[in-house]
Structure formats: C-alpha cells, structure tokens
Structure 1
Amino acid sequence: MISMKKLSILPQLAVTAALVFAGSAAQADEVKGNAAAGNGKVWLCVGCHSIPEYRADYPLVYKVPMIGGQNAAYIASALAAYKKGERKHPTMRSIAASLSDQDMADIGEYYAAQTASSPNNPLK
C-alpha cells in the first residue's frame, strides 16, 4: 500500500520534472547562431569542405559536399547528429565532438550566409 507521505511527494516530483523540461527546452531555443562568430570557427572545416570535388578516403571514399549557402539549421543539426553518433563518419564525429551547441549554430549561420560573391575566407 502507498503511504500518504509518498503520495504527497508525487505532485512535487511532477512539478520539478516539468520545470526541468521547460528549462531545457528554453535553453535549446536560446542558442542563436552568429555568422561573424562562425567566421573564426570554421578552420576545422577548411581541410575538406572548401575544396571543389574533394573526396575523403578514410575509412571509405566520400564525396565531400561544399556547404556554403546551405541552411543554417540543417548544418547545426547535422553536426549534432555526428556528435551523437547518429551520422557515421569518424572524422566528422571527432570534429563535432569538440563543438558546443553555440559553435554548431555559429558555423551553420556562417555557411548559410555564404554566396558565390562572398569574399574568400582563408579559414573556410
């Protein structure tokens, strides 16, 4: 049988869980990318994503996409998926593991702002 003391704790636990969930959802919404900040964070991307027709050959041969002009949210979510292991590529996973959510959002905004007429960034 459940005691009255245990029953009185249940509403408190439910409220606490709701507050934690609401706080984490609000925190996720707070991450806003900044293209100017991303400008200095893309140095890890330059080795592959800035070379036209580049193919990486470890562990398999991959055609590396040019990501300038890609949707910012897509880039950030792709990086998050590499970090979580949902996308499989060892180099991308290790790079994404070093990035914070803010870094991913900034990199996404940086690449989303790129056009054919964007000035060349030696770090990209």
Structure 2
Amino acid sequence: MKLSITKRAAPALAALAACAAVGSAAAQSAAPAPITGNAEAARDKVSMCIGCHGIPGYRASFPEVYSVPMIAGQNAKYIESALKEYASGARSHPTMVGIAKSLSEQDIADVAAYYSNLK
C-alpha cells in the first residue's frame, strides 16, 4: 500500500518536522556548561581544610596516625579528582568522606582552584 500526503496535510507535517528539529537542537544546547573553579569564591569554603592541610608536618590521629599532605600548589585536577573519589567512596578516609560529600561540584572546583594557586 502506497501512502500519499494530501496537500492539506503536507504543511502540518512540515511544521511538525520543524518543531522536532528545534526541540532536538534545544535539548542538545541545554547541556550544562562546564564548571570552572573560582579561587576567590573558595575563601569562605576552605575553613574546614586549613585545620589539617594548612599546618606543615601535621599528623592526624583519626582513624589512625598519619601525615596529612600539604595541598597548597597541588594540581587542581588532582584535588578535584581526590575530592570526588572521597565523595563516591572510592577513597575511604572518614573525615575526608564527610567533607567531600558536603561539597557541591562548584565547591569542589572552587576549592581546587584555591589550593592550586597557593604556593
């Protein structure tokens, strides 16, 4: 059976196709913009980091005694990756898991930008 489009249906089908194309383009352009870290915005977010990571030679005693790494000057992508791993459970330090889970994606990017700019 051969389908034929009547002259009355053709404009409606063309309009429908145009709407579908616009909707598809809008859905593709609605992808979230990449998150960019803002070191200045992190100044109010790093207070929970300074107590351990801001003291040279600091050794923490929970859950065991270990040397806390200095993160000033560390690569931002590394800091972001580490925080995301703590938040996901891929890394398992209890204090860091709790802190990382409290941070948004923007907070993580901001904190990483802040510490990567310190020397």
Give a deviation string over 1:44-66, Cα, whole Å, max 9, x none: 10110011111111111121011
Q: Which residue of 1 aligns with 2:84?
A: 80
Matched, 1:32 2:36: yes
Percentage of identical aligned residues: 53
Pick from 95, 104, 108 the counterpart of residue 100 of structure 1: 104
- SS class of match (2:37): coil
- SS class of match (1:99): coil
Structure 2 gaps of 5+ residues are 1-23
Supply the distance in 2 between the matched residues of 1:61 and 1:85 (Cα, whole angstroms).
21
Give a deviation string over 1:22-49, Cα, whole Å, max 9, x none: 97xx53x611101111122101101100
Supply the distance in 2 between the matched residues of 1:84 and 1:68 (Cα, whole angstroms).
23
Q: Which residue of 1 aligns with 2:21?
A: none
Q: Which residue of 2 aligns with 1:51?
A: 55
- 2:105 partner letter: D
Matched, 1:41 2:45: yes
Tell which structure's C-alpha radius of gyration is larger: 2
- SS class of match (1:92): helix
TM-score (norm 2): 0.72
Report how many aligned residue pairs link the two structures: 94
- SS class of match (1:35): coil
- SS class of match (1:83): helix
Supply the distance in 2 between the matched residues of 1:30 and 1:60 (Cα, whole angstroms).
37
Pick from 104, 116, 119 the counterpart of residue 112 of structure 1: 116
